[in-house]
Amino acid sequence: MAQISIKVDGVEYADAVEPRTLLVHYLRDQVGKTGTVVGCDTSNCGSCTVHLDGTSVKSCTVLAVQADGHEVTTIEGLAKDGELHPMQQAFHENHALQCGFCTPGMVMQSIDLLRDNPSPTEEEVRHGLEGNLCRCTGYQNIVKAVLAAAESAPVRIGTAGGTL
């Protein structure tokens, strides 16, 4: 077992983990952050996307021990005082989700996308979301939501710092 300390959605955790434990499993099973989900075993789907120190990562490709001393934001850490994050709001407004399974990953990736490129074209949004699969929406409303979020206001990212 390895000892790690990680800040998740603003709260410090100190835990013992098996060295082989993936960050996504640590988040779900030990911290109880079940909002972050697992959709594949080949790092293709992006369902597990979180922010590690403010940048999106597929949490199934990171070991929990690699996140030791770092800060993780999940979908559950975005809304503040009952107010949805602008990206969550944009997904809701634009009907960018159906079953919602891909949504946590999509939202986290979309925030990162706008952090890199605050005014993307439709094409850039489509390419920026290439690593996240959705089987329900056909992507059109997801793309629309991201473009709407880019239009509406500078998107703040959760606890992990910085404003666009």
Partner 1 sequence: MTVTEERPVTEVGSPRRRKEDGRLVTGRTRWTDNISLPGMLHLAMVRSPMAHATITSIDVEAAKSSPGVVAVFTGADLGDEQGSLPCAWPITADQKAPPHPSIAVDTVNFAGEIVACIVARSAVAAKDAVELVDLEYDELPVVVEMAAAAEGGNLTHPDLGTNVSATWVFDSAEAGTGGNVEDAIRDAEVLVERTFRQQRLIPAFMEPRSVVCDPTGEQTTLWSATQIPHILKLMLALTCGISESKLRVIAPDVGGGFGGKLQVTPEEVITLVVSRRLGKPCKYTETRSESLLAGHHGRDQIQTLTLSATRDGIVTGLKVDLLADMGAYLGLVTPGVPILGAFMYNAIYKFPAYRFECRNIFTNKNWTDAYRGAGRPEATFAIERLMDELAVEIGVDPLEIRERNWIKHEEFPFSTVAGLEYDTGNYEAATARAKELFGYDALRAEQRERRESGDPVQLGIGVSTFTEMCGLAPSRVLGALSYGAGGWEHASIRMLPSGKVEVITGSSGHGQGHETAWSQIVADRLGVAFDDVEVLHGDTQISARGLDTYGSRSLTVGGMAVVAAADKVIEKARPIAAHLLEANADDLEFTGGKFNVRGTDSSIGIGDLALAVFAAHNMPDGVEPSLDAEATFDPENFSFPHGTHLCAVEVDTETGETKIRSYVCVDDIGKVVNPLIVEGQVHGGLVQGIAQALWEEAVYDDSGTLVTGSFVDYLVPSAADLPHFTTDRTESPSSTNALGVKGVGEAGTIASTPAVVNAVVDALRHLGVRDIEMPCSPHRVWSALQHLDGDGSSSGADTPTEKTYVADDADPSHNAQLSGEDAGRAAADHGGLG
Contacts with partner 1, residue ranges (CB under 8 A): 18, 28, 33-42, 44-45, 47, 74-76, 78-79, 84, 88, 91-93, 95, 97-104, 107, 122, 125-127, 129-143
Q: Which does 58 bind (CB under 5 to 8 A by kind): ligand FES, partner 1, none?
A: ligand FES
Q: Report the residue number, 27 or 80, with the smaller CB distance to ligand FES.
A: 27
Which residues are paired to 8 by β-bridges?
A: 11, 72
Which chain residues interact with ligand FES by CB under 6 A?
38-40, 43-48, 58, 60, 97-103, 134-137
Q: At 111, which amino acid appears?
A: I
The nearest distance, CB 82 to partner 1, in angstroms, is 10
Write the DSSP string, 94-118.
TT--SS-SSHHHHHHHHHHHHHH-S
List C-alpha distances in Å: 139 to 16, 33, 101, 143, 151. 39, 26, 13, 6, 18
